[in-house]
Amino acid sequence: MHAVQLNDLALTWPDGSVALHDITASFGRGRTGLTGANGAGKSTLLRLIAGELAPSSGTVTTSEPVGYLRQDLALDGDQTLADVLGIRATRAALARILAGDTAQENFDTVGDDWDVEERAVAVLSALGFTDAGSLDREVRSLSGGEVVLAGLARLRLGASGITLLDEPTNNLDRRARELLYAAVRGWTGTLLVVSHDRELLDLMDETAELHAGGIRMFGGNFSAYLEQIDAEQATAERLVRAAEHDLKVEKRQRVEAETTLARRARYGQTDFENKRMPKIIMNQRKSNAQVSAGKYRGLHAEKVEVAESALEAAEAKLRDDAHIRVSLPETRVPAGRTVLQLDDDLVLRGPERVALVGPNGAGKTTLLERIAAGDVRFRIPQVGYLRQRIDDLGDGTVVDVVRAAAPDRSPNEVRAQLARFLFRGARAERSVAQLSGGERFRVALARILLADPAPHLLLLDEPTNSLDRQSVAQLVDALGAYEGALVVVSHDDEFLGRLGLTRRLTLDRVEGLREEAGKSS
């Protein structure tokens, strides 16, 4: 039995851009990882399955209730954990019953959930939640990772047979991720996960990929999917090289054929001029030669056309591997120049690259905000801060958003720079409201790096959240061109290993900020 069935599903945004089209697939019980490039429509597809969006055409059929954990989970700071878990009304009814209120409505509210508090605490504890028993704790006191865990706990408490998770490991530290992985290993029912976390995707039973407007199912986890894609791309590259060779051969033979025809035409003209045969015979030979030459040319032209079509078909199977190639000399910081000095006398000088790590709730984001606000002993004025949640881009075009940070530059200058961030042509004129999470991240990064004045200190808070493999590679490209000082908060060890770190600092609730020896790369 299929828990989720998609038939000819399509969605077109109000501005006419196509988000998804002709998506037909089915998902049964078990764990499925949904992968694809940023902008492919993964989050949009989950929203369609969850019923948050209505398709322009086609149908979505689900056999059980659907629970959905959004990527951009935003909670009211005044809410409590009980509110997030959806048990506030039940707890209140239980409290009234225990106080002696025997009204029927209290018993109707409780139903069979007499142990709801115990179950809630057990689920939170299993997910490694800090102070799991404090169900009255306010949301504003939670870290980003704890917000995600709270949302996941709500799904575990609910009766959803189908669960949709959109980037669930965002903002989670290593311990929290391990707890999430354990929960996923033991998950029952239908689980559909959108993620760029390879460890999580390797826990899946099958992989679905959104690519080139369609969806394709692969048996096995993410590693098995990558092996198959890599093999297909190796074959595609060989086919392209073979098709390129065939095209060169056909073009060379066409040139040789034209040379032969031209030589024959010269001989025929010489014979005609020297009147070596009767005129009627010479005219007939000339006519025959023209017909033959036409067929000869047509044959070679057809061969060239076939070779060109074969090359086009082979190239179509190759996947785009676009890289950000940008020069940022304005961000250069001289070696030895003091860039930042914290209250505890920690000093950053020159173009240092520092990783700030630590468990969820340790205060890493708070420290970045302090630095950005200048609440430290010393900090240079040219600072770029890329927050964990990118929600301040507005609804203008890509050009408008980036130019707002460099108003003295002309729109054409900004467009030329945006092309290096892969916003070429009409893409630079799209509204940021219609971009994917990865594309919005690229806009935010371009706005900071192309600002005037240029940033000499760059603060990044979990920058790889929601980014696919290609987007992470593009981020590394851009940071490779950045010549200033860098402080980055991240739980992505693979990403940190590619940045050329000079130092690694750990922030702990008890021990505070300390430097880890031998952790630079």
Q: Is the pLDDT of residue 459 over 90?
A: yes
Count the alpha carbons within 13 Å of 79 in the hemisphere toward its beta carbon.
17
Instruction: Confirm if 354 and 503 have CB atoms less than 8 A apart.
Output: yes
Give the whole-number percent of the chain exceeding pLDDT 90. Answer: 22
For 322, other C-beta atoms within 10 Å of its C-beta total 12
pLDDT in tens, 94-130: 999 999 988 999 899 988 888 888 888 888 888 777 6
**Token representation of residue 194:** 């959108």
pLDDT in tens, 301-350: 777 777 777 777 776 666 655 667 777 888 999 888 999 988 766 888 89
- For the chain, the C-alpha Rg in angstroms (whole number) is 31
Q: Which residue has the higher pLDDT, 200 or 294?
A: 200
SS3 353: strand
Return d(Cα 483, Cα 101) in angstroms, integer: 68
* Segments in 51-164 forming alpha helices (H): 81-85, 88-98, 104-110, 116-126, 144-157
| Helix 116-126 × helix 88-98 angle, to 10° | 140
> Residue 286 has what pLDDT?
56
Cα 49 to chain centroid distance, Å, stands at 20
How does DSSP classify residue 320?
Answer: P
The domains spanning 4-79+138-220 and 329-394+446-515 adopt the same CATH topology: yes
pLDDT in tens, 379-390: 889 999 988 777
Class of domain 4-79+138-220: alpha beta
Is 329-394+446-515 a domain of CATH 2.60.40.1120?
no
Confidence of residue 287 (pLDDT cuts 50, 70, 90): low
Q: Where along the chain do its domains lie? A: 4-79+138-220, 229-316, 329-394+446-515
How does DSSP classify residue 139?
Answer: G
pLDDT in tens, 32-54: 999 987 778 898 999 999 999 99
> Residue 416 has what pLDDT?
80
State if pTM tops 0.75: no
Cα 249 to chain centroid distance, Å, stands at 41
Tell which residue, 176, 178, 224, 227, has the closest CA to residue 199. Answer: 178
Return d(Cα 250, Cα 399) in angstroms, integer: 45
